[in-house]
């Protein structure tokens, strides 16, 4: 049929920055008969989930919530449960997703002081600090920041921003969009002074889309008592009332909860520090490939490099969307598209979630083929080779010593012969 994707052997490779590949353990956990979401034993599943989410958010004091929604709903949950129409927030725009949170705030009646930043850079911490210091009347009620701008492959220093807010002793709430960072890179809610952290299920948590994962500090929980933004389905108070007993105010997706349990178990089995180190290592291999190709990332400097997604600038003569088109239709690989200001200028390789050296090598090989087909002049194997050498040099060394099959057999036979001769002599 016209427009229908051709059948390919094997599975489609997901190298967009979300949704990401779902591990078999997680998929198997979700394929279960339908369950009663008000069953007496449901709290045995729910209460540990809420507790364990706090570990991923990096908090001992906060309260986590699970909504049957998306990261976008998470933004609205953060704002609507803590602010009132006419309240003012401070934020910056340097990509499509930082823009969307700004746009959402405006649409629900929040006043926004917006700092526009060149796409390819991140949160302007020094400028935020200056603005907050000048806000003597504390009209700014919240500082809103995008940790990882997926559209441009830019990651900002949320610890530095939290310190800046603390240094000027400003009482504003501190809200962070961690949709494409949390569960993949280091996130320390308590240490950084974050009041609301927002994430989603389809990225580092390795689940299907459809689950908003949010954590509120005690300061943010207190703010809900005076917040006057209209809310119903997204009201955390309903969750507070029911979560304490291990239930939800409305029907949750129990299979998704089962999948979340399996995903958290995988993260904890690997160890969160190891998860963060793996993401950095996979990202660095991709960055070395980009350099070997003679191309540049959209992120303007190494301090902005993301460990979950790399946005790559195509040569001016090539529409980056063609690379994505060829990769998908010819090589069965999904790459991230350029959005808004960078549409047609970049293509994106996601390296988050359930990924490994070998899987990233598949991505880089497919991207090389698609780029050459699109007319980008690169040396075949250059990026793949650079990544190979980096991954090899940084691969784990503590593997069992190699022992060739049958190597010990001659010695064993010799011992048997000696023993037989001794027995015969007797």
Mean pLDDT of 296-302: 98
pLDDT, one tens digit per residue, over 23-35 is: 999 999 999 999 9
Residue 29 CA to residue 261 CA, distance in Å, equals: 8
**Residue 414 or residue 156, greater confidence:** 156
State the pLDDT at residue 422.
47
pLDDT value, residue 413: 46
Q: What is the pLDDT of residue 406?
A: 76
Question: Alpha-carbon distance 416 to 118, whole Å?
Answer: 77
Q: Please state, in angstroms and rounded to a whole number, the distance separating the CA atoms of residues 269 and 154.
A: 28
**Full-model pTM:** 0.92
Q: Where are the domains of the chain?
A: 13-18+272-394, 25-269
- Strands 111-116 and 333-337 come out as unpaired
Dihedral (CA of 148, 154, 159, 165) sign? negative
Contacts by 42-48 with C-beta closer than 8 Å and gap 24+? 42/246, 42/247, 42/254, 43/245, 43/246, 43/247, 44/246, 45/246, 45/254, 45/257, 45/258, 45/261, 46/243, 46/246, 46/247, 46/248, 46/257, 47/246, 48/261
User: Are 157 and 302 contacting, i.e. CB atoms less than 8 angstroms apart?
Assistant: no
Average pLDDT, the chain: 94
Per DSSP, the three-state class of 379 is coil
3: pLDDT strictly greater than 70: no
Q: In the chain, what percentage of residues exceed pLDDT 90?
A: 91
Q: What is the pLDDT of residue 6?
A: 56
Distance between CA atoms of residues 317 and 323, nearest Å = 12
CA–CA distance, 53 with 272 (Å, rounded to integer): 12
Q: Which pLDDT score is estimated for 11? A: 78
Q: For the sheet containing 111-116, what is the strand order?
A: 63-67, 212-216, 196-200, 173-177, 140-146, 88-93, 111-116
CATH code of the domain made up of 25-269: 3.40.640.10
Among residues 8, 331, 61, which one has the least CA distance to residue 194? 61
- pLDDT for residue 414: 45
- Class for the domain spanning 13-18+272-394: alpha beta
pLDDT tops 90 at residue 65:
yes
150 C-beta neighbours (distance < 10 Å), count: 29
Is-same-fold flag (13-18+272-394; 25-269)?
no
Q: What is the pLDDT of residue 421?
A: 44
For the stretch 107-134, pLDDT in tens is: 999 999 999 999 999 999 999 999 999 9
How far apart are the C-alpha atoms of 115 and 124, rounded to whole Å?
A: 8
Contacts of 260 (CB under 8 A, 6+ apart): 49, 66, 201, 205, 207, 211
Say whether pLDDT at 303 is over 80. yes
> Comparing C-alpha atoms, which of 304, 286, 284 is closest to residue 295?
286
Query: What number is the average pLDDT over the span 281-296?
Result: 98
Q: Does 416 score more than 50 pLDDT?
A: no
Determine which helix (DSSP H) or strand (DSSP E) holds 106, and give its type and residue range.
helix 96-107
The string of pLDDT tens digits covering residues 137-154 is: 999 999 999 999 999 999
User: Residue 412: which residues within 8 A CB-CB, separation 6 or more?
Assistant: none
Work out the average pLDDT over 208-228: 98
- How do residues 307-317 score in pLDDT, each as one tens digit? 999 999 999 99
Which candidate, 122, 184, 109, 199, places its Cα nearest to that of 153? 122
> Each residue of 26-64: pLDDT tens digit?
999 999 999 999 999 999 999 999 999 999 999 999 999
């Amino acid at each position: 049929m016209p427009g229908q994707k051709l059948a390919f052997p094997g599975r489609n490779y997901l190298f967009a920055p979300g949704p990401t590949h779902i591990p078999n353990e997680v998929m198997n956990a979700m394929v279960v008969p339908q369950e009663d979401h008000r069953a007496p034993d449901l709290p045995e599943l729910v209460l540990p989930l809420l507790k364990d989410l706090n570990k991923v958010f990096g908090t001992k004091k906060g309260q986590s919530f699970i909504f049957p929604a998306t990261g976008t709903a998470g933004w609205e949950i953060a704002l609507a449960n803590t602010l009132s129409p006419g309240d003012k927030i401070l934020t910056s725009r340097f990509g499509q997703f930082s823009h969307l949170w700004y746009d959402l705030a405006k649409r629900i009646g929040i006043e926004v002081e917006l700092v526009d930043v060149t796409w390819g850079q991140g949160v302007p911490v020094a400028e935020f600090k200056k603005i907050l210091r000048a806000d003597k009347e504390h009209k700014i009620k919240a500082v809103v920041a995008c940790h990882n701008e997926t559209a441009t492959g830019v990651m900002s220093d949320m610890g530095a921003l939290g310190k800046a807010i603390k240094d000027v002793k400003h009482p504003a709430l501190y809200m962070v969009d961690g949709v494409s960072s949390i569960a993949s890179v280091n996130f320390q809610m308590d240490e950084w002074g974050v009041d609301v952290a927002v994430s989603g299920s389809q990225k580092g948590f390795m689940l299907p889309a459809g689950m908003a994962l949010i954590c509120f500090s005690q300061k943010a929980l207190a703010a809900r008592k005076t917040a006057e933004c209209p809310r119903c389905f997204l009201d955390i108070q309903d969750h507070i009332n029911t979560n304490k007993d291990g239930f939800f105010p409305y029907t949750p997706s129990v299979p998704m909860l089962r999948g979340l349990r399996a995903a958290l178990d995988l993260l904890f089995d690997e160890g969160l520090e190891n998860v963060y180190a793996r993401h950095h290592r996979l990202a660095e291999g991709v960055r070395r490939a980009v350099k070997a190709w003679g191309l540049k990332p959209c992120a303007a400097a190494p301090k902005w490099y993301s460990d979950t997604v790399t946005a790559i600038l195509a040569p001016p003569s090539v529409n980056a969307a063609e690379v994505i088109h060829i990769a998908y239709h010819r090589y069965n690989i999904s790459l991230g598209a350029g959005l808004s200001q960078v549409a047609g200028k970049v293509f994106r390789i996601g390296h988050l979630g359930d990924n490994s050296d070998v899987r990233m090598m598949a991505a880089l090989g497919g991207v090389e083929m698609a780029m050459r087909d699109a007319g980008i002049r690169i040396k075949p194997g250059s990026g793949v080779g650079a990544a190979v050498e980096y991954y090899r040099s940084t691969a784990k060394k503590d593997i069992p010593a190699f022992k060739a099959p049958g190597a010990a057999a001659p010695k064993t036979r010799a011992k048997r012969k000696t023993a037989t001769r001794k027995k015969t002599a007797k």
